Amino acid sequence: MDQPSTTQTPEPDLTSTQRDQEEESVHRALESYYRAGKPPWDTGVTPPELVALVEGHEAMPPGRALELGCGTGTNAIYLARHGWEVAAVDLIDRAVDQARKKAAAAGVAVRLLHGDATRLDELDVPGPFDLFFDLSCYCGVPLHRRDAYAAGLTHRAAPGARLLMFGYGPEPLGNPTPEVASWAAGVTADELRARFPGWELLDVTPGTNSVPTFWFTLGRDA
Ligand X SMILES: C[S@@+](CC[C@H](N)C(=O)[O-])C[C@H]1O[C@@H](n2cnc3c(N)ncnc32)[C@H](O)[C@@H]1O
Question: Contact with ligand X (CB under 6 A): which of 32, 86, 132, 140?
Answer: 140
Within positions 12 to 71, which residues make up the interface with ligand X, using CB under 6 A? Answer: 30, 41-42, 69-71
The verdict on 152 binding ligand X (CB under 6 A) reads no
Q: Which stretches of the chain are DSSP H helices? A: 21-35, 48-55, 74-81, 93-106, 146-156, 182-185, 189-195
Pairing of strands 129-135, 157-168: parallel
Number of H helices, E strands in the chain: 7, 7
Q: Considering CB under 6 A, how many residues would be counted as binding ligand X?
A: 20
Residue 46, classified by CB atoms within 10 Å of its CB into exposed (0-12), middle (13-18) or buried (19+), is: middle
Identified binder of ligand X from the candidate list 118, 177, 182, 213, rule CB under 6 A? 118
Task: Please give the angle made by the CA atoms of 143, 28 and 26, to the nearest 5 degrees.
Answer: 10
Binding test (CB under 6 A) with ligand X, winner from 80, 117, 164, 180: 117
> In the complex, which residue's CB is closest to ligand X?
69
Q: Considering beta carbons, is residue 40 or 159 the nearer one to ligand X?
A: 40
* Residue 159 C-beta: closest distance to ligand X, Å: 25
Among 29, 125, 131, 135, binds ligand X (CB under 6 A): 135
Among 136, 154, 188, 217, binds ligand X (CB under 6 A): 136
Nearer to ligand X, 126 or 160 (CB): 126
110-114, strands of its sheet edge to edge: 110-114, 85-90, 64-68, 129-135, 157-168, 213-220, 199-206
- Give the residues lining the site for ligand X (CB under 6 A): 30, 41-42, 69-71, 74, 89-92, 95, 116-118, 135-137, 140-141
